[in-house]
């Protein structure tokens, strides 16, 4: 597996552990719908949280969360709508981004709640 895939998977594991340690129930990981993949799906306080995890070793090219483009948001929204339908969820939803930045053996987590809103189509 490519090094960047290993880094991404490690970031997702860290993000999942972070969410669980903060009271979130982890519902799913790497849930796919069409061309979209939702990294983590969590639940807390009646809300389903769709989480995009971005992991980097440097911020030289920008912060990880800056790479969640409008087209990526649309894909996530499409997959989220399918998940909501499958799960028959009628409560609130939220889109979060968790960025993980590694610095040698340490890392920093930035959890951005309500990182973006669903796009009207």
Number of compact structural domains in the chain: 1
pLDDT value of position 3? 61
Distance in angstroms (rounded) separating the CA atoms of residues 89 and 84 = 5
Distance in angstroms (rounded) separating the CA atoms of residues 31 and 41 = 8
CATH of the domain at 57: 3.40.1350.10
Q: What is the pTM of this model?
A: 0.91
Sheet with 93-103: list strands edge to edge.
25-33, 36-44, 47-56, 93-103, 106-112
Residue with tokens 């911020």: 59
Six-digit token string for 113? 């709640």
Q: Is residue 103 situated within a structural domain?
A: yes
pLDDT tens, residue order, the chain (121 aa): 456 678 889 999 999 999 999 999 999 999 999 999 999 999 999 999 999 999 999 887 888 888 999 999 999 999 999 999 999 999 999 999 999 998 878 899 999 999 998 766 5
Closest to 41 (Cα-Cα) out of 3, 93, 49, 62: 49
Distance in angstroms (rounded) separating the CA atoms of residues 20 and 25 = 6
Q: Is residue 15 situated within a structural domain?
A: yes
Q: Is residue 51 situated within a structural domain?
A: yes
Q: Is residue 120 situated within a structural domain?
A: no
pLDDT value of position 63? 85
Domain span including residue 59: 3-112
């Amino acid at each position: 597996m490519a090094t960047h895939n290993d880094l991404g998977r490690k970031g997702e594991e860290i993000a999942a552990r972070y969410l669980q340690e903060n009271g979130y129930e982890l519902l799913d990981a790497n849930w796919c719908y069409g061309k979209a993949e939702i990294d983590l799906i969590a639940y807390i306080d009646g809300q389903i949280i769709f989480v995009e995890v971005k992991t980097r070793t440097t911020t030289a090219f920008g912060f990880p969360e800056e790479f969640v483009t409008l087209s990526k948001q649309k894909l996530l929204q499409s997959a989220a709508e399918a998940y909501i339908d499958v799960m028959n969820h009628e409560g609130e939803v939220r889109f979060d981004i968790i960025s993980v930045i590694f610095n040698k053996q340490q890392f920093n987590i930035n959890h951005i709640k309500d990182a973006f809103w669903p796009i009207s189509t």
